[in-house]
Structure 1
Amino acid sequence: MAVYVNGELVLYGFVGESLWREGFTSSEVLQALAEHGTDNDLNVLLNSGGGYAFEGIAIYNALKAHKGTVTVKIDAIAASAASVIALAGDSIVMRAGSELMIHDPSGSTYGTASDHDKTSAALNKLAKQMSSLYSARSGKDLAEVRQIMKDETWFTAEEAVEAGFADEAEEAKAKQATAFDYRVYANAPERLVALAVEKGWTFEREINRIAASAAPTSQEETSMAETTEAGGKSVDVAKVTADATAAAQTRIKAILGSDEAKGREAQAQHLAFSTDMAAEDAVAILAAGVAAQPTSEAEEEANPAAYEAERLRASGQALPSDSPKPAQAKLNRAGIFASRAQQMKGA
């Protein structure tokens, strides 16, 4: 689905990726804003069940930096990371029957107790950052906002206005909520859970679809993949797989274990698990965080790499590469949500 349509920003689907063939990324939003023009007023049509927290924060920052007046219209739902995006509006308008949901960020870790401790610290830091945004918008104190987040609170349009998270509840009827596996939320309305099941919006099913799209399409291709490479030499598939796994583990450890990651754990986690960036490039971005942000176009032109690194640091994350990601990378990231879905089912 296009992000920029008829002069409006249309943010429908998963935040930070295309799942169930719907979604949008911070890179796409930045491109759309450049096309729209910095000084022009902007309508943002929002309908999203959530996604990657750092992508949501990056989009929030991009919209807040827009010089024209930004009006966010919640067409159906703004949950999780999408609720952060909504906060960027100079005014937030919710359709009748639409919903806004606020909760604590979540994630998963594979590794030692120390690895889990690092994830816990990163999530707590991210929750604090998000709570400050909700507090500033609503006028509520941080303690009250943190409790709202921990309770995973769902607001109707009227409730959101009363709580200070929206400005207007209009009479126009809400559209259907966009694709998302609403089963992963503890307090999701029953109708959304039922809709996800009815439409097949489950992470398990989406993972299978992604895996199938990455697999060879014929027996001949399968055979070739298992036995030969382009030069006709024999290939040890098990060894190639083992080498790739070892390389991935080495890359992750290099990023998370670097001195530059200290104090920037949340950003390091994003670079390690949500991008395909080489370890040395990720560490360079973390290291660039200590540099002063350029304050003029001349400085930006003089050192564009440092400027971009600092811009990403300022937004609290690093943007994924514009180049297409391998299907397996999508599968790995989607798997985080699928694991949570399995836990919910087993609870």
Structure 2
Amino acid sequence: MPMPKLLQLFLDNQNRPRDFHVKAEGNEAEIYLYDAIGAWFGVAAEDFVRELRNLDGVETIHLRMNSPGGDVFEGRAMATALSQVKARTVCHIEGLSASAATYVAAACDEVEIADGGFYMIHEAWTLTLGNKRDHEHQIGLLSKVDDSIIGDYAKRTGVDRQQLIDWMAAETWFNAAEAVEHGFADRMLETDRSQNRKRAQWNLAAYQNVPAALTDQPPPEQLFDRVQAERRLALLERR
């Protein structure tokens, strides 16, 4: 029996360096979501929402994202919380926004995507444990969630619902220019494309149609060493 795709995504990336933290200064705050979405192996919605509520009083929240996605229900909870805050919310896709991460991005007031970044939509995933009735119930829930997500995408993009359904069924990947063209992002941020693709480096074997630009992955230890070196260099440059 094949491994459930969501579980495969989590396990394939368990050794990858991750980053989820919040930084607030004055009237602005930054949330770094550089991880998968899910209570088991990534960022739990409960933790995300707690941090978001602690930002009461700030005027602008910058969500800096590089995420391969994860559990649909966790992503929906994050998106709902973002849609309810009073602050202006800006999502900066600095590498990858895939799967459940796109729901979180779409909930923000503005979305920008870095040149070299990618945006992927597909039908909802989750993990189910139990008997056949449990699985049948979950199938019904996923269908409703897909319909809700399509509504969110349509509201943001203005794209026809049937086109969105077809894109989701086909697991469609958009580069930065295409994400802006189709309305998933408001603008493209001109940056170093090679650096953005380094940020986007996840093991994406759980997906079917991954662009070639995202399939050349370094070993997790090598990537971890590089990320650590880049952070140390950034700290030295601030001194």
TM-score > 0.5 by shorter chain: yes
Measure, in 2, the Cα distance between the counterparts of 1:18 and 1:199.
23
1:15 to 2:33 alignment: no
1:96 to 2:125 alignment: no
Cα distance, 1:64 vs structure 2: 0.9
Stretch of structure 1 that moved more, 92-101 or 112-121: 112-121
| Normalised TM-score (structure 1) | 0.52
Cα distance, 1:158 vs structure 2: 0.7
Cα distance, 1:37 vs structure 2: 2.0
| Normalised TM-score (structure 2) | 0.74
Cα distance, 1:192 vs structure 2: 2.6
Contact 2:63–2:92 (CA under 8 A) maintained in structure 1: yes
> What letter matches 1:122 in structure 2?
L
Cα distance, 1:180 vs structure 2: 4.1
Aligned to 1:244: none
CA-based RMSD of the aligned residues comes to 2.2
Aligned to 2:75: 56
Task: Write out per-residue CA displacement over residues 28-83 of structure 1, whole angstroms, 9 at most, x where no aligned residue.
Answer: 22222233224521111011001111111111111111111111100000000001
The structure with the larger Rg is: 1
1:112–1:62 CA distance, 2 compared to 1 (3 A): closer
- Identity rate of aligned residues, in percent? 30
> What letter matches 2:219 in structure 1?
K
More helix by share: 1
Measure, in 2, the Cα distance between the counterparts of 1:44 and 1:188.
24
Give runs of aligned pairs for residues 229-244 of structure 1, distance below 5 A: none
More strand by share: 2
Contact 1:72–1:91 (CA under 8 A) maintained in structure 2: yes
Cα distance, 1:141 vs structure 2: 2.4
Aligned residue among 121, 138, 141 for 2:160: 141
Q: Which has the higher contact order (CA 8 A, sep 6+)?
A: 2
Aligned to 2:88: 69
Contact 2:39–2:45 (CA under 8 A) maintained in structure 1: no
1:27 to 2:49 alignment: no
Measure, in 2, the Cα distance between the counterparts of 1:36 and 1:157.
29
Contact 1:13–1:180 (CA under 8 A) maintained in structure 2: no
1:199 to 2:222 alignment: no
Aligned to 2:9: none
1:82 to 2:104 alignment: no
> What letter matches 1:148 in structure 2?
W
Task: Write out per-residue CA displacement over residues 71-116 of structure 1, whole angstroms, 9 at most, x where no aligned residue.
Answer: 1100000000001110012110111100000000134556665554
Measure, in 2, the Cα distance between the counterparts of 1:38 and 1:139.
32
